[in-house]
Structure 1
């Protein structure tokens, strides 16, 4: 294949070129819209651990048109343990649960995409269409909580992939996990972009009454069109605000995560998002700057060229200004908030708006003293 000429690159960046299926930053061929309708990523390159990289290309015989669209497939995963541990100094939790691997929401910026490469799959379209469900998670969780050496601390759910993504309606794994946690009086913190969380208000409200549950709703933008393009299968912004209102009305401590903040595209909405979430009942708030680790960078770049070609250079310039001139800086303490003048400005704007609205005046700390470990399956009953 001949390299793209400088003239063609300029035309493509302006969004006027016929190069709809051109090579983008070496990331692979863009998949035809008819095959990826309702999806976020536009490319589907091989994972970084594969010995051979395969890319489709149009040879002029229209054979690409015969390929079927990407459909959601769910495969059962049988892990031996379900609680994942971490010791990252810039993360507020040391354990988490992921009921699913991959996420049908299809957020183009999702920092969990590179993890699909460990399964021999693409962090692109396969991340949002080739999913793994863990139906044994509730049973495994009960067994781990029953271990005599287990010490309770808040379990975070939704920190990698969303536990309330569309397939949860059928699999109900998250619902069953909450049932196990409630029975054991174990604290849980949830992050989601889905209004489906309202389905479990009955459990969450009972847990919250004991100081055992809190929920954070992620709101990236209030613009429905931008959200549908950037996060195609998430709940609409208005539905997420509705979820904040419903959760807080039920007595569940609820916060809003302005995450990620996309500089030059959504950062002007910080104050509006906080205003709307506060009015809906949120009492805490947080934010994360756009992260572009590994395979996420070409996916986001491709999306910008498709949807916002006029802002492509500006957005990337701002991203790099906050990442030491690179697409991403993974250094602890910097990866979430960035560094430099523009990152400082975003941080100050967020803090001023949050203070004005009375957010974050008191951080909700969940209780651990009520924990009652489940009875192990092979545990002998006490005689006296």
Structure 2
């Protein structure tokens, strides 16, 4: 028999802590479950068993929670601003000492987003039954991208859930701001394409000039208006196909396999590829800093942090580097195996290991990648603005060329027939 500390939650979401005399951790869990409690944590009070018990518990939690393959992060069906507000509210409530279960109940009462409001009661009941918040979120991958769930998992492992939620809110708010900026140019570009395709027949002056000059008795309705309307309707159908394609693309991108392939291609795009890579590595390094500082075993920390990268291709490489390295591989060697970090960054990680200050090294690298991402973002906006202006000029020039060519074609054609 041994003495075990435990932490459990009752049916009302209240946390219960205490000690119990039992033969094993499983017996403690069975006793608590039979009384209607959800088990959160069990640890032996024997100093000689504490370390091994803690590592075994963490490893067990990692096996239960970590997916065998890397889950794919897809864009949430909930607007980014609404999702950011959810994480912000949850962080504030937890910082004030309110339990996760009660915080979810409070948010349900104020939420106005339909899909999120429908999922929250189920999540609340799951947490009340003793499951973690990250497990409850994982049941809704369409609402909570995999990287947000992984960030919450990392916060739970490190005991800094409120901080992790705040960081997720910051990232989502920044992403929402960038999306609003980009959507302005993208909407104008799509409208330009649709309008150009729809009204393209009007720029073909040969269809108007030839009947007007060649006919002995011109009937404006029969000779000009009706043929023009016919051509407009024909091209309007083509424009409709473009419109459906634009709308469908938003949904198609949520297919996991396609999203993963797009993220792989995105890393090869100049400027924007580096921006997404640097942001993903910044997110990964912040999670590593948080968990290493909390004493989480390296393998568990890497498993959780690798999933926090928003770009799926980056997350896959980080996960594969851990699988290839094994549990005894150093952080610097895993950095090198991932193929994502510069040699200076690998050296920084190695210096942190030699000095015993690896969390500080992670924090410094996170700041470095945040600065790099900011620089790429500024450059990307310049490129985007230039590309947008060039596209508008190209479309306008194409229409002018069509108009001019059709005009002179009609004039010279009629002149040649005289």
| Same fold? TM cut 0.5 | no
Task: Please identify which structure carries the higher strand content.
Answer: 1
Q: TM-score, normalised by structure 1?
A: 0.28
Q: TM-score, normalised by structure 2?
A: 0.27
